[in-house]
């Protein structure tokens, strides 16, 4: 699906954040224990995070794999009481929450980690979700992977759409060993990118996100301030509405 | 959308669970602190939970509202260290994760609470999600609500579909004060139902869930063991694929 894109840069406030985050986090660790958000974050190694996420996926599925790879490293640096956080709570999010195939668990877990580790998680979420929609993934394959992992574009943050797109591209079944491993490799790639973004924000860089031109045209009528204003979404409309789009010939 | 339904009862294992849960939880609380899952659960009051979720929604959106209303009460009963859990981590899930309108945050937060509080969260998730899809909601309105809340059927666990269905039914805009309150009332209704289910499981009752007849027909070809096996999902197909369904005249 080749679509034109209009990059919509959003300021993250990361410049201001870089100055205040350590102080906030230190204060939190001193006074509020693990309840004081955000926890103190320092740059992590992206590839090592991806490998740890691939390993965690084998134990607790995609959401746990992504979250534990990121937040687990931070907790180990901070020590008690942070290491007593119940990381296993996030096993619920496997395959879009217990097989419901709603939100990709690797995104769900990364978003939870952003909220835990950043005073400004919103631009991190937007940047990661839009990257996941548009990129051919995985863009990183852990050395422990057994199969050849062909990249595919999900076009959506939803597990259902992501797996369907992969099955079409790979010619494999949705319960095959290849698909099972693919979701572990995807978890690695997503956790890795989440750390790339966290590192960038902590270094004061501006994060990039955006809507496709097609989606921006849909939103102009259907989202906030539009003539209809009858939905809420930041998802790429074409991820689900390819058929419906034929009924909107005026939309580019 | 009136659709025929075939109830697919699933044994929850709740009978066996009722005997083992307290022992597991006590052991966890004694040895593993808050890391030992599940935390000890005892029956909560559904209406009080709904009211607390409505209040939490005002502070931290839908996912936080549902999770904190359930797990917060349990933490207060258990005392330290459980009360130091960072409940605010779940603010990320507001409006289907920072406005992306993916999974309804009230479901996302309730599912996290199930994983924290039950040794067998899977049937709880299935029962809550299918209930959310098929019921006219809200079925409970906190006394603090200001507007008249007309029930609507989401037909999907996704925030985007749920809000679109409500906007169609209510004739209101997606950023109106009425819609904003509606999501708080929905959070109350979902957290209330989550506690109804937790109480039922803790009492050894069998939980009911099911797929619509239409969805079961789709799944027969597309899900595990089907001729195509090219997707994963437990969602009601008709929540998104109404237009596509016209291209499948053989499906009832």
Give the ipTM of the model, two decimals please.
0.87
pLDDT in tens, A188-239: 999 999 999 999 999 999 998 777 777 888 899 999 999 999 999 999 988 8
Rounded percentage of chain A residues whose pLDDT exceeds 90: 75
- DSSP notation for B22-42: HHHHHHHHHHTGGGSSSPP--
Residue numbers in A near B230 (CB within 8 A): 164, 167-168, 173-174
Contacts with A163 from chain B: Cβ below 8 Å: 231-232
In this structure, of A45-49, A60-64, A245-249, B209-213, the range with the lowest mean pLDDT score is A245-249
Cβ of A92 under 8 Å from any chain B Cβ? Answer: yes
CA distance, residue B139 to nearest chain A CA (Å):
22
Q: Is B121 on the interface with A (CB under 8 A)?
A: yes
A76/B contact by beta carbon, under 8 A? no
Residue A122 contacts B where some CB pair is shorter than 8 Å: yes
Query: What's the pLDDT at A246?
Result: 54
Q: Which residue of A has its CA nearest to B35?
A: A86
B99-116 residue pLDDT tens: 999 999 999 999 999 999
- pLDDT-derived band of residue B137, with 50, 70 and 90 as boundaries? very high
Please tell me which of the candidates A87, A92, A157 has its beta carbon nearest to residue B102: A157
- Residue A127 is encoded by which pair of tokens? 């940047």
CB contact under 8 A, A86 and B90: no
User: Which chain A positions have a beta carbon within 8 Å of B81's beta carbon?
Assistant: 81, 84
For A116-130, what is the mean pLDDT? 97
Q: What is the pLDDT of residue A249?
A: 53
Distance, in angstroms, between B106 CA and closest chain A CA? 13
Pairing status of strand B208-212 against strand B5-9: antiparallel
| Position B250 confidence tier, pLDDT thresholds 50, 70, 90 | low
pLDDT value of position A103: 98
Give yes or no for a contact between B142 and B54, defined as CB atoms under 8 angstroms apart. yes
pTM: 0.87
Paired tokens of B77: 């009963």
pLDDT given at position A238: 84
First-to-last CA distance in chain B?
14
Asked if B85 lies within 8 A of A87 by C-beta distance, the reply is: no
Among candidates A115, A168, A174 on the partner chain, residue whose Cβ is nearest the Cβ of B89: A115
Q: Is A7 on the interface with B (CB under 8 A)?
A: no
Question: Treating both helix axes as pointing N-terminal to C-terminal, what angle do A177-202 and A46-78 enclose, rounded to 10 degrees?
Answer: 60
Closest CA to B11 of B165, B120, B94: B120
Query: What is the average per-residue pLDDT within A9-21?
Result: 27
B34 touches chain A (CB under 8 A): yes
Query: Looking at residues A44-66, what average pLDDT do you find?
Result: 98
CB contact under 8 A, A100 and B163: no
**Cβ pair A232:B96 closer than 8 A:** yes
Distance from CA of A244 to the nearest CA of B (A): 7
- Are B104 and B133 contacting, i.e. CB atoms less than 8 angstroms apart? no
Other C-beta atoms within 10 Å of A71: how many?
24
SS3 A178: helix
In the structure, what pLDDT confidence band is assigned to residue B26 with cuts at 50, 70 and 90? very low
Choose the closest CB to A103 out of B85, B102, B232. B102
A163 touches chain B (CB under 8 A): yes
Query: Which residues are CB-contacts of B249 (< 8 A; sequence separation ≥ 6)?
Result: none
Q: How far off is chain A from B15, nearest CA to CA, in Å?
A: 21
């Amino acid at each position: 699906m080749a679509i034109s894109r209009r990059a919509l840069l959003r300021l993250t406030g990361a410049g201001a954040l870089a100055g205040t985050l350590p102080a906030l986090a230190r204060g939190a660790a001193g006074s509020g224990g693990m309840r004081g958000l955000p926890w103190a974050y320092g740059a992590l190694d992206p590839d090592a995070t991806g490998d740890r996420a691939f390993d965690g996926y084998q134990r607790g599925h995609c959401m746990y794999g992504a979250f534990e790879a990121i937040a687990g490293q931070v907790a180990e640096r901070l020590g008690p009481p942070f290491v007593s956080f119940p990381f296993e709570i996030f096993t619920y999010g496997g395959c879009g929450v217990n097989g419901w195939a709603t939100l990709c668990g690797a995104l769900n877990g990364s978003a939870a980690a952003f909220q835990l580790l950043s005073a400004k998680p919103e631009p991190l979420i937007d940047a990661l979700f839009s990257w996941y929609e548009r990129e051919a993934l995985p863009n990183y394959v852990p050395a422990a992977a057994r199969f050849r992992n062909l990249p595919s574009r999900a076009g959506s943050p939803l597990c259902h759409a992501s797996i369907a797109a992969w099955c079409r591209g790979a010619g494999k079944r949705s319960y095959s060993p290849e698909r099972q491993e693919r979701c572990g490799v995807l978890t690695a790639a997503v956790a890795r990118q989440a750390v790339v973004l966290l590192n960038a924000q902590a270094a004061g860089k501006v994060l990039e996100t955006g809507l496709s031109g097609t989606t921006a045209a849909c939103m102009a009528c259907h989202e906030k301030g539009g003539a209809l204003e009858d939905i809420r979404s930041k998802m790429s409309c074409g991820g689900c509405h390819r058929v419906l789009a034929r009924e909107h010939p005026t939309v580019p």
